[in-house]
Amino acid sequence: MPKLLDIQGLRVHFETLDGPVEALHSVSLSVNEGEIMGVVGESGCGKSVTSLVTIGLATCDVDDGSITFDGDELIQKTPQRTQRILSFLKYFSSFFTLGLILSLFWTFLEPIQGLQISAVMLIAFSTCFVSTRILDAPRSKHEKFMRSIRGNKISMIFQEPMTALNPLYTVEKQVAEVLKQHNRLDEADTNSAMKIGKAIISPAEMSVHFFRNDWRGALPIIITSLVILAIHQTDNADSILRLIANQYAAIGFLVLLLNLIFWNIFTGNIDFTETTLMEPIEEGPVTITSGIRLVSNWANSNFALIFVSWLVIIVLLWIPFGVLMTIILSVAILTVPPIQISNYFRLDSAHTRQVVKILKEVKIPNPESVVKMYPHELSGGMRQRVMIAMMMACEPKLLIADEPTTALDVTIQAQILKLMKDLRDREGTAIMMITHDLGVIAETCDTVTVMYAGRVVETASVTELFANPQHAYTRGLIACTPSLSSERKSILPAIPGQVANPSDFVEGCRFCQRMERTGETLLKIPDYKEISPGHWVEMCPICLDANEDRWE
C-alpha cells in the first residue's frame, strides 16, 4: 500500500523560560492508505505533539525533518536570513507609522513642511509594508494551503469532546461551518435576497409561528386579549377592574392558604419549598378530603402562574387604553425586527438536511432533533459522535484521533471504536489512533508505533508487536495492563518511575535513564533498525534483553 503520511526525522523544540526544550527527537513514522495506525505511549512521550505538528496547530518550532502527505510537503521552513529581515522590517514600519502621526501634528504648526515630512513617512511606510508582503508571501501561501488541508484532507478528533465543541452554537451550525469553510455546502433552498425580503415584509411571522406551534396553549392569551379589548371599548374598565381585582385577590389568598395549610398537613411536610414527591391521587370516589387535596395539589403546582396572571390582568385593566396600545406597538416595533433578523441568520433548510445526512452516517439516533441541540444537551458518547461526524463531513483521507475514547465508558468506547472501524471499511479513511490503552490498539489497529520520551522505540504490525515485543518499554506496557485472564490480586508488573522531564532527557537510550541504569547506553543514540520485515526497533542492547527487565 502506498504511504499516505510519511514523517521523517522530525525534531521540534518548545521555547520555554529555561531555554529550548526538545519535545521530539527524530521521530519517523508513516501511515499507509486505508490503514489504522496506533501510536501508543504514556503522557509526555510526544504523541500529541507529533499529531499537532502534522496538521500545523503546534506552537513549537520545527528544527529538522519533513512531513509528506499525499505527495505534498506539510512543513515549510523560513530561512534564517528572511526571518531576520522580516523582524527588522517590522520595527521599521512601526517607527514610520509613529513618524507619520507626529508629522501630521506638525502640519498644524508648519503646514507645508509638515505635509512634506508626512509624504516622506508615508512612502517609507508603504515600502516597508510592500516588501514585508513580498518576503512573507511563501509563508502566507503555505498557511493558506494548510487551511485547505486541515479539516478537509486531514482532520482531527480531540480527547475531550466538550472542550472541542463550541457550547454556544447548535450542532448543525458547527457541522455546517466545516462544510462552508471547504465549499462543500449544498445549494441553499432560498437565496439571501429572498431571506432579507421575507424578514422585512412579514413582521407578524414570529407571532404566527408561535400560535401555529401550539394553538391550544395560545388560546388563553387570545381570549384574554380579546376580553380586555372589549372591556376597554365599553368604557367600564374602572368598575370591572375593581370587581375582578377583588375576586382575584380572594382567589390568590385562597390558593396561598390552601398551599400553606392543607397541603402541608396532608403531606406532613413543614418546609414550604420542599413540598415534593408529587404523590399520585388514589383512584376512588371523590370525597371532601380528596377534593381539597386535588385542588391544593393543582394550586401548589400552579401557584406562581395564578399569582402572576392576576397581577398582569390588573395592570392591563388599570392602564388607559391609548397608553396600552402605545406600549404594545412600541414593544412590537422594537423587538420584532431583531428577531426577524436573527431568523435571517438561521441555517438554510437544505444545509440542515445535509447535516442530518452526515449525522445519520455516524449512527446518531434521531438526528433531526439532535441537530437543533447544544453540546451540553448530549451525552459523552453522542458528543464524540458529533465530533466524528464533523471531522468526517469533508470525507478526509486521514483522520487523527487523539485519545478519542479515554474520557468514555467501556461500553461507549466499544461503540465509538466500532464506528471508526466501519468508517475505515466504508470510506477507506486512514486513521492515526493515539492512545495509551493497549486494549484499544489490539482491537482496532493494523500497525502500531510505540513512542517513548520523544522518540519512536518500536514499530510493527499489531500481531507481531503483541506476539514478539522487542523493546523493554513495549513489554512493560503490555505486562502492566490488567486483563480478565491475569491472576486476581497479583502484583502487576508496573514500570517504575515516570517519563523524565524533557529538559533532563539524555542523548542516548531514554528508557535506560528511567530504569536508572548507568553506562554507555545513556551516551550514544541507539540505532533504529528493521529486524524483520516491517518491524523496526531502537537497538539499545540492554532494553532488547528481556532478562534485564526489572518491573516493580
Partner 1 sequence: MSDEEEILIEAKNLKKYFPIKSGMFSSVKANVRAVDGVDFKIKRGEVFGIVGESGCGKTTLGRLILRLIPITEGSIHYLGSNIQDMRNAELRRKMQIVFQDPGGSMNPRMSVRSIIGEPLIVNGLADGAELTKKVGELLEIVGLKPNHMTRFPHEFSGGQKQRIALARALSLDPEFILLDEPTSALDVSVQAQVLNLLQSIQKERSLTFVFIAHDLAVVRHISDRVAVMYLGKIVEMADADEIYNNPKHAYTKALISAIPKPDPSSLVDREVLSGDVPSPVNPPPGCAFGHRVSHPKYPDSINVDLSLVEVAPNHWVQPCPCCTEI
What residue ranges bind partner 1 (CB under 8 A)? 42-43, 272-278, 300-301, 303-304, 307-308, 365, 379-382, 409-415, 417-418, 436-443, 462-463, 466-467, 476-478, 480-484, 486, 488-496, 498, 552
Least Å distance between CB 361 and partner 1? Answer: 16
Q: Residue ranges of the alpha helices (H) in 234-348? A: 237-257, 264-267, 288-318, 321-344
Does the CA dihedral 358-360-364-366 come out positive or negative? positive
290 or 461, CB closer to partner 1? 461
Shortest distance, position 221 Cβ to partner 1, whole Å:
19
CB within 8 A of 16, min separation 6: which ones?
503
| Sole residue written with cell 493494523 | 446
Rounded Cα distance between 155 and 179, Å, is 13
In the complex, least distance from residue 260 CB atom to partner 1, rounded to whole angstroms = 12
Q: Which segments of 150-165 does DSSP mark as H helices, in order?
A: 161-164
Q: How far is the CB of 44 from partner 1 (least distance, A)?
A: 8
Considering the complex, what minimum distance in angstroms separates the CB of residue 296 from partner 1?
A: 12
User: How far is it, in rounded angstroms, from Cα 396 to Cα 399?
Assistant: 7
| 274 vs 527 by CB, closer to partner 1 | 274
DSSP state, 455? E
Q: Is the sign of the CA dihedral 176, 178, 181, 184 positive or negative? A: negative
Among residues 334 and 467, whose Cβ is nearest to partner 1?
A: 467
Q: How far is the CB of 514 from partner 1 (least distance, A)?
A: 10
Q: Which is nearer to partner 1, 229 or 278 (CB)?
A: 278
Residue nearer to partner 1 on the CB measure, 394 or 408? 408
From residue 251, alpha-carbon distances to 235, 262, 264, 303, 530 in Å are 26, 15, 19, 11, 89
Cell representation of residue 261: 395549610
Q: How far is the CB of 521 from partner 1 (least distance, A)?
A: 21
22 vs 42 by CB, closer to partner 1 = 42
Q: Give the burial class of 297: count Cβ atoms within 10 A of its Cβ; 0-12 exposed, 13-18 middle, 19 or more buried.
A: buried
Q: How far is the CB of 493 from partner 1 (least distance, A)?
A: 7
Q: Classify 46 in phi/psi space as left (phi over 0), alpha (psi -120 to 50) or beta.
A: left
* Residue 29 to residues 111, 152, 535, Cα–Cα distance (Å): 67, 22, 12
Q: What residue type is assigned to position 116 of the chain? A: Q
Measured from the CB atom, is 168 or 491 closer to partner 1? 491
Q: Residue 356 and residue 359: Cα distance in Å, rounded? A: 5
Closest CB to partner 1 among 121 and 362?
362
Q: Which residue lies nearer to partner 1 by CB, 215 or 298?
A: 298
Q: To which residue does cell 439571501 refer?
A: 192
| Minimum distance of partner 1 from residue 293's CB (angstroms) | 16
Nearer to partner 1, 507 or 548 (CB): 548
CB atoms near residue 96 (< 10 Å): 20
Find the shortest distance in angstroms from Cβ 251 to partner 1.
17
Residues contacting residue 409 through CB under 8 Å, at least 6 positions apart: 380, 381
